[in-house]
Amino acid sequence: GGSGGGSSSGGGGASVRRLSKAEERRQAAINAALAAQASGQKLNRKQRRLLKKKRDSDIADSVSASEMAKRQKRAGRFQVNASRSVDDGDDATFDEVVVGTSERLEKNYLRLTAAPDASTVRPVRVLKQSLQMVRDKLAKGSVQYEYIWHQLKSIRQDLTVQHVRSEFTVEVYEVHARVALEYDDLGEFNQCQSVLHALYLDNIGVEHRDEFLSYRILYFLYRNLTAELVATIGELDASARTQPAVKHALAVREAVAFDNYYAFFTLSRTAPNLSSYLMDYMIPPLRVRALKMMVKAYKPTLSVRVVQQHLGFANATYALAWLRRVGAVVGDASSGGGAAVAAAAAAA
């Protein structure tokens, strides 16, 4: 019953099923976004999200080992900071509290090496206007991430030098953390979530605490930071464990711990908030481990359609391309053997 015959029946092999109407519409939207991107047009936020969501089917699975190493190196720029300070490590720390007087809405970020002049620092009133300006430009999709990064970093810096620890501080770090996730900047995300954790511990601006607790769990899980992961889970009270986002993150942790790839990809389809962005990083190595298990369980043959369904590919074409990319031996469906995945050389 474990051979490829049972699960690969019903049009098995390497044949590609006909897309549903909904899938056709989604693919058309993806094609339009790719065409706009290729022609140099600026993508709106919906188009960026659409392309990002596609990662689990062809973008994430095409990431090479060297590229993943580069991402991990970038993500490790900042150590996890357990300090209960708003200082996020980018600037020198000064005891003197600066009272800002600048009225500028836009300001590029520059790392501080000496105490800033009050005339270059914006008060909270102006910073709130600046954050709204950034939100508006994000909604319009009219600026690049580098611009957004500079504006949000400079807002955070002005809050830090004025020793502002308030609900507005939390709002700024939450906005930057979400944007960093969307733009694949894990280093900046980690810096933001670390500061947020310290603020939440002081019961400041806790409205979205459960959302960011779930991100914290998933980030530590991806980075294989076992001690930090165990400590974070140990801090959860009974109420937090019942919140949907946290429950989902804990379920993902269990699925990864037991190499339960079926549960993982089921959870990826129901990921709340921006959790799928963090789960995307876990997909490439998990797929390789899952393929090894599936080859053993389904031998001598394994249907491409089974790989597609169990490993979260959008269709059989993506699954087949990935199998060949990782070195799997794929037979010709017309030979009667289905898609005979006999080895995964790249995963060995």
Note the pLDDT tens digit of each residue in 116-138. Answer: 899 999 999 999 999 999 999 99
pLDDT tier for residue 18 given thresholds of 50, 70 and 90: low
Q: Output the six-digit token pair for 257.
A: 């711990």
Q: Is the pLDDT of residue 85 over 50?
A: no
Q: Give the separation between CA 210 and CA 319, rounded to whole angstroms.
A: 34
* Residue 90 pLDDT grade (very low, low, confident, very high; cuts 50, 70, 90): low
pLDDT of 249 = 98
Residue 132 host element (H or E): helix 124-140
How far, in Å, CA of 318 to CA of 314, rounded?
A: 7
Q: Please report, as a single letter, which amino acid is at residue 269.
A: R
Q: Is the pLDDT of residue 265 over 90?
A: yes
> How far is it, in rounded angstroms, from Cα 202 to Cα 208?
14
Higher pLDDT, 131 or 44: 131
Contact criterion met (CB below 8 Å) for 139 and 157: no
Judge whether residue 74 has pLDDT over 80: no
What pLDDT shows up at residue 2? Answer: 42
Express the helix, strand and coil content of the chain in percent, nearest 5 each. Answer: 65, 0, 35
Give the confidence band of 32 by pLDDT, cuts at 50, 70, 90: confident
**Residue 206 reports pLDDT greater than 60:** yes
Helices within 205-274 (DSSP H only): 209-223, 226-235, 238-241, 244-257, 261-268
Residue pair 273/279 in contact by the 8 Å Cβ criterion: no
Instruction: Name the residue among 266, 294, 262, 304 with its Cα closest to residue 17.
Output: 304
